[in-house]
Amino acid sequence: MPELPEVETTKRDMGKWIINDTFTGEGFCDWKKMLDRQAEKFFAELKNAKVKSLDRRAKILAINLTSGFSLVSHFKMTGHYLLVDDDPKFIPYANIRPSKLNLAEPLMQIKQGRKKTIEEAFKFYRKTYDPFIHVLFRLKHSDLLYTDIRKFGWFKIVKTSDFANLPEIKELGPEPLSKDFTFEYLREKFAKTNRKVKQVLMDQTVVAGIGNIYADEILWAAKVHPEAPANKLSVWQIQAIFDAIRPELEKGIKNVGSSIGEYRRIDNSLGKTQNFFNAYGREGKPCRRCGSILKKVVIGQRSAVFCPQEQKL
């Protein structure tokens, strides 16, 4: 599932290619529930809108347009963007699945899709790029594709000035990389609940953008058991968690996101963060600090991996 570092990576990658490009108003969507209005109207609304900037809040991305509107999308469980750009320096990768990680060969043929009509292009990209593409936006110099196996992602066109007031944004806690996120804030939130600390870290109304992966990594770094009740943590444990949040997320961004699931960068290449995990997905493997065998517990529907020697209840 994409988390803050994955969506931030998309934002940074996408910014390099589509800022100053212009939506043509052509588009195609085969899963219409994703759009906030009828598909034809949705794409027409974007006609001649030039991309000014990009914003991210948790897993929500806003493509801000010179028209004063923003194309807002939520990545939900399995969403991510792919791009096909006319610039010869942009080389998309062929479709790759996690079982074939080393088969990421550049596939210039994908760019042929740009010469096709919108509906033909949609079919072509699905065949050559990713079979789970559901939305295609055409810009003057690129085709922007949205792919989502589970199909829970959504799109809205809103006034840029209304972005912060969207209900899905308003309910979010602070951005963990922003100044609004302080130790005092986290301590107060933890003090108010006896829920397991991992669940609290993943609660988007407490802090936005942390999911299953980075919560495991943060708790391993802080040496705190994922099932510890939040209101029973010592001030030192809270400090250790607080001190681990930013570096772990920044490590995720620096390594361009993690591709253990569906996530890909916009050129369909893989993130690299999974190569540096200390806890997530490492059940049964030795702890990189103390050598103990990492264990797994199930919390709610999700599993948590931790070091039984250093992360004690």
Rounded least distance, CB 312 to Zn ion, Å: 10
Q: Considering the complex, state which of residue 63 and residue 218 has its C-beta at the smaller distance from Zn ion.
A: 218
Which pair of tokens denotes residue 77? 């469980």
* Count of H-run helices and E-run strands, the chain: 8, 10
Rounded least distance, CB 250 to Zn ion, Å: 22
Rounded least distance, CB 219 to Zn ion, Å: 12
Rounded least distance, CB 282 to Zn ion, Å: 11
- Rounded to 10 deg, the angle between the 235-254 and 183-191 helix axes is 120
Q: Considering the complex, state which of residue 218 and residue 307 has its C-beta at the smaller distance from Zn ion.
A: 307
Q: Considering the complex, state which of residue 239 and residue 309 has its C-beta at the smaller distance from Zn ion.
A: 309
CB 94 within 8 A of CB 106: yes
Q: What residues make contact with Zn ion under the rule CB under 5 A?
A: 287, 289-290, 292, 307, 309-310
CA distance 236 to 269: 40
Which residue has its beta carbon closest to Zn ion? Answer: 287
Rounded least distance, CB 216 to Zn ion, Å: 13
Kindly write down the DSSP assignment for every residue of 3-70, as one continuous string.
-HHHHHHHHHHHHHHHTT-BEEEEEEES-GGGBSS-HHHHHHHTTTPBEEEEEEETTEEEEEETTSEE
Kindly list the catalytic residues: 2-3, 59, 302
CA distance 9 to 44: 28
CA distance 260 to 277: 11
CA distance 14 to 12: 6
Q: Considering the complex, state which of residue 129 and residue 220 has its C-beta at the smaller distance from Zn ion.
A: 220
**Helix, strand, coil percent values for the chain (each to nearest 5):** 35, 25, 40
Q: Considering the complex, state which of residue 235 and residue 290 has its C-beta at the smaller distance from Zn ion.
A: 290
Q: Considering the complex, state which of residue 191 and residue 290 has its C-beta at the smaller distance from Zn ion.
A: 290
- Residue 128's alpha-carbon distances to 106, 107, 109, 267, in angstroms, are 12, 9, 8, 13
CA angle (226, 175, 163) in 5-degree steps: 135
Rounded least distance, CB 288 to Zn ion, Å: 8
Which pair of tokens denotes residue 91? 């080389």
